[in-house]
Amino acid sequence: MIHGAEADSSMFEALMGALAMDFSVVAYDQRDSGRTENSDTEYGLVDLADDAADLIRNIAGASGASRANVYGTSFGGQIAQVLAARHPDVVDRLILGSTWRVGRPVAEVNPQAVQELARLRTDAQRNAAAIATWFFTQDYLSAHPEVIEIFRGTTRSAEQQLRRSRVLVNPPSIDFSRVSARTLLMAGTRDRLIPPAATFELAKDIANARQVELAGVPHVGPIEAPDRVAQAVRAFLVKTAE
């Protein structure tokens, strides 16, 4: 599982629990995220995709498997696209959630959100609650105000935040014809950040991609609606099992 830009692997805790009875589930922290320690060298999507490929190969070597099913959400979906194109040999099935096509500026996908979030993030400490409404429903935030802390910008240093912010500035050109994995495109109807249409647009590039829209689910479905996401993931993996 490949997490989003604001998060770390802990965003998948509930989702992993919902899938653990049926699958071996691994989530990891990207560079400048969670418990991962890395140098201060700049990096891009290719580097993050190669990191994921190395992890899969290491785990496969220990387990006897050769490939993994990969789920990337939002920014993690960007990494997953590059991974599937650069390293098709390690990806069995691909699930892209709440994401958009690599190379398309997110400011083009949702200019209103980008402009408003840029304004709010000039004082993330004060505006964290408003920022959170772009990622979760208000009902969920009222019941779980602790998730607002994610958006105060305190989990990463200024240097880490800067490196992360630069990852999408110069996206790689990827050859989607190299994506051989059976693919599911998944989006929530209440995603205010990445419109479902932007996620489903990837069906133009990825042959025979399936699509599922989760009613009432916002951008961060794995946290707010883990059972709904798990149901869609499980159904896809079962239906496409060899």
Per-residue HEC secondary structure of 110-142 comes to CHHHHHHHHHHHHHHHHHHHHHHCCCCCHHHHH
In a domain, 113, yes or no: no
Partnered with residue 210 across adjacent β-strands are 184
Q: Looking at the predicted structure, is the pLDDT value of residue 64 above 80?
A: no
Q: What is the largest CA-CA distance in the chain?
A: 50
**Which of the residue ranges 34-43, 127-136, 206-215 would you say has the lowest mean pLDDT?**
34-43
CATH number at residue 60: 3.40.50.1820
% of the chain beyond a pLDDT of 70: 99
Considering the chain, what percentage of its residues have pLDDT values greater than 90? Answer: 92
pLDDT exceeds cutoff 90 at 200: yes
Judge whether 114 lies within some domain: no
Secondary structure of residue 8 in the 3-state scheme: coil
pLDDT band at 212 (very low <50, low <70, confident <90, very high): very high
In a domain, 140, yes or no: no
With a cut of 70, say whether residue 242 has pLDDT above it: no
Describe the strand order of the beta sheet including 210-214 as a list of residue ranges. 68-73, 91-97, 182-188, 210-214
Band of pLDDT at residue 155, cut at 50, 70 and 90: confident
Calculate mean pLDDT across residues 160-170.
92
Position 156 scores a pLDDT of: 86
Integer CA distances (angstroms), 150 to 4, 61, 154, 167, 168, in order? 12, 35, 8, 20, 21
**Count of structural domains, the chain:** 1
Residue 78: count of CB within 10 angstroms of its CB = 29
Per-residue pLDDT tens digits for 72-100: 999 999 999 999 999 999 999 999 999 99
Does the predicted model carry a pTM greater than 0.75? yes
- Spatial contact of 117 and 94, defined as CB atoms under 8 Å apart: no
Q: Using only C-alpha atoms, what is the Rg of the chain?
A: 17
Task: List the domain range (segments joined by +) for residue 79.
Answer: 9-108+157-239
**Mean pLDDT value across residues 220-232:** 98
The whole-number pLDDT of residue 222 equals 98
126 inside domain: no
41 found inside a domain: yes
In a domain, 231, yes or no: yes
Tens of pLDDT, residue by residue over 96-135, are 999 999 999 999 999 999 999 999 999 999 999 999 999 9
Region for 44 from its dihedrals, namely left if φ exceeds 0, alpha if ψ lies in -120 to 50, beta otherwise:
beta
Residue 60: inside a domain: yes
The residue written with tokens 């993690």 in the block is 76
| Contacts with 173 (C-beta within 8 Å, 6 or more apart), sequence order | 103
Contacts of 154 (CB under 8 A, 6+ apart): none
Position 182 in a domain: yes
